[in-house]
Structure 1
Amino acid sequence: MPQQLPDVTHRVVPGPAGRIHLVEQGEGPLVLLVHGFPEFWYSWRHQLPVLAAAGYRAVAVDVRGYGRSSRPEAVEAYRMPDLVEDGVAVVRALGERRAVIVGHDWGANIAAGSALLRPDVFRAVGLLSVPYAPRGGPRPSDMFAAMGGEEEFYVSRFQQPGRAEAEIEPDVRGWLAGFYAALSGDTKPAPGAPDPHFAAPGGVLRDRFPAGVRPDWLGEDELDVYTAEFERTGLTGALNRYRNMDRDWEDLADHDGAPITQPSLFVGGALDASTTWMADAIEAFPVTLPGLVSSHVLDGCGHWIQQERPEETGRLLTDWLGAIGDAAP
């Protein structure tokens, strides 16, 4: 099975919520890799050996609620400060004092939050797909509820416990395949087609997923791995991250508008809604990411950057890590 990668070590370390599962490869400065939704450590399978070969200790975690890490029952156990402390616990458990943190999708938000809240531990931050946008503006649930008019934004659909699970869990494989295709550069709906980030009144998100197509990066074996993991764990732990956005907004009130000053990297996909919807956040990087070393928007790429463009992602990461060196403040 592709989950059994050669030359990697699986470990379970203690964390604030119980256990944190991680996969590591290589020796050298620690680089912590944080996945997004709906993925787990496996989304970094291409970058682990590249970073290891470049002289880094690459560690991909299962975020709280995913994979073999603990899945607390309480919804409020998935708020951002708790996830930041999970990352700190990993660094400490590995015998390190500091680390570079790189995240994709929700992992990018977690990486940004980690750099913001614990600059003593996280000396540099890489963001894939989701640009940094400082805390501010209206309450997130109010903002998302206002999007789409009569249609319902996917983040709003994910808020009520059990609702999204009822859509996804009867056919995890089919839903994941459609969701991955909907946000991939080579299979996303054509311009002008109904947006798969929104559900029509009385409909579900899956109604707008592409049918009968599979992204180039997603073979049967890869889909088997993702399906097996989410059939085993269910989706509640993963979805609970979305259910804490208002709590994050409250928890981070003291950091309203705060920049991230550590050396940083951004990589987005030109065909990713996260890049286009948040174009203003990217334009604000000189203020919000004053330590930005490099920023890249990849033509023809969708949301799943490190899987759609594995070689390019590996090169961008190693180039950036080489540029910042071991002594980043």
Structure 2
Amino acid sequence: MTVEHRILEAGAGRVHLAEQGSGPLVLLVHGFPESWYSWRRQMPALAQAGYRAVALDVRGYGRSSKPRDPAAYRMLDLVADNVAVVRALGESSAVIIGHDWGATIAAHSALLAPETFRAVGILSVPYVPPGGPRPSEAFARMGGEEEFYVSYFQKPGRAESEIEPDVRGWLTGFYRALSGDTMAGPDAPDPHFATREGGTLRERFPTGALPSWLTEEDLDFYAAEFERTGLTGALNRYRNMDRDWEDLAPYAGAPIKQPSLFVGGKRDASTMWLSDAIDAYPHTLPNLTGSHLLDCGHWIQQERPDDVNRLLQEFLDNL
């Protein structure tokens, strides 16, 4: 089965998606800094298993629309995009699966639109209900005497000026830094997710061979996407976290009640930082069907595709 590409009018603009297979709809949502292509190893497996696998380019990425207004990347808009995609595909409901930022988008899609998303799979970044401290303040504390990467991404143009002169080189370092077989690790003297005053993220990336999951051809694809689009659309997701905190205040502490699945990496900083969120799953994901930690880093569906495919298929088959 070949991958078919299309552009849909959905939400406030266009959404590009790649589709493979037929059957119950499974919507796949990527994270930062990636694209629909991050699901290239899941789509054929899901299609073979009897599902309609649809991987989209999130707003701001690839061939999807890239609004100029940074506020157009708030969570409410991204959820609306996902609902509109399901409707535009002629379906009334779907299972939504997300990785990294896509995991957070998928979780909030299930929370805000339970009539559309009947189940949710969460990869790498655990579900944290809305509420708690203001994100900008919390991330500022995480940096300690230095600047945490989320804070570093806040000022428009700042991260872009580091990344865009050499997109391919920066992506190589970022992917390497969070891969299980090449990562610097959270206990390294110069972890990649914090910067010195006046410094850059890139100066702390580990060097050496590409991660085992990433080929030169894969890297060429990712680099070409961002060389064409720039990084502003992708980075604008980070620039809406306080807006999301305000928008989602009515849902503070809310659980996701649909069937859910979590798969994380044992060597992923996300699962280490948010271990309390995983511990809270009996309350925040009361219909969790499985919580799994694989021996890998952050790019879980690319680092461990066979294991992830098996877990996704088991989850879907048992719905």
TM-score normalised by length of structure 2: 0.98
Show the counterpart of 1:155.
150
Matched ranges for 1:242-253 at <5 A:
242-253=238-249
Show the counterpart of 2:87.
92
- Cα distance in 1, alignment partners of residues 191 and 33 from structure 2: 19
| 1:218 and 2:194 are equivalent in the alignment | no
CA contact (8 A) 2:162 2:200 kept: yes
Write out per-residue CA displacement over residues 163-201 of structure 1, whole angstroms, 9 at most, x where no aligned residue. 000010010000000000000000001543321111122
Aligned partner of 1:131 among 123, 126, 131: 126
- Cα distance in 2, alignment partners of residues 320 and 138 from structure 1: 33
Amino acid at match of 1:197: F
Write out per-residue CA displacement over residues 268-312 of structure 1, whole angstroms, 9 at most, x where no aligned residue. 00000000110000000000000100110002x000001101111
CA contact (8 A) 2:131 2:248 kept: no
1:148, CA displacement in angstroms?
A: 2.2
Show the counterpart of 1:275.
271
- Cα distance in 2, alignment partners of residues 226 and 44 from structure 1: 13
- Cα distance in 2, alignment partners of residues 293 and 59 from structure 1: 23
Show the counterpart of 1:41.
36
CA contact (8 A) 2:180 2:298 kept: yes
Identical aligned residues as a percent: 70
Amino acid at match of 2:44: P
Show the counterpart of 1:172.
167
Write out per-residue CA displacement over residues 122-171 of structure 1, whole angstroms, 9 at most, x where no aligned residue. 00000000010111211100111122222110000111110000010010
- Cα distance in 2, alignment partners of residues 177 and 192 from structure 1: 19
Show the counterpart of 1:9.
4
1:18, CA displacement in angstroms?
A: 1.2
Matched ranges for 1:1-329 at <5 A:
7-189=2-184, 191-299=187-295, 301-324=296-319
1:212, CA displacement in angstroms?
A: 2.3
CA-based RMSD: 0.9
Amino acid at match of 2:85: V
- Cα distance in 1, alignment partners of residues 142 and 18 from structure 2: 38
Amino acid at match of 1:264: S
| SS in structure 2 of the partner of residue 297 of structure 1 | strand
CA contact (8 A) 2:131 2:253 kept: yes
CA contact (8 A) 1:79 1:248 kept: yes
CA contact (8 A) 2:264 2:293 kept: yes
CA contact (8 A) 1:150 1:201 kept: no
| SS in structure 2 of the partner of residue 258 of structure 1 | coil
Write out per-residue CA displacement over residues 16-69 of structure 1, whole angstroms, 9 at most, x where no aligned residue. 221100000001000000000000000000000000000000000000000000
Which structure 2 segments of 5+ residues have no match? none
- Cα distance in 1, alignment partners of residues 260 and 143 from structure 2: 32
Amino acid at match of 2:130: R
CA contact (8 A) 1:64 1:70 kept: yes
Question: How many aligned positions are there?
Answer: 318
- Cα distance in 1, alignment partners of residues 299 and 318 from structure 2: 25
- Cα distance in 1, alignment partners of residues 244 and 188 from structure 2: 34
Show the counterpart of 1:327.
none
Write out per-residue CA displacement over residues 87-115 of structure 1, whole angstroms, 9 at most, x where no aligned residue. 01110010000000000000000001100
1:77, CA displacement in angstroms?
A: 0.2
| SS in structure 1 of the partner of residue 44 of structure 2 | helix
Amino acid at match of 1:74: D
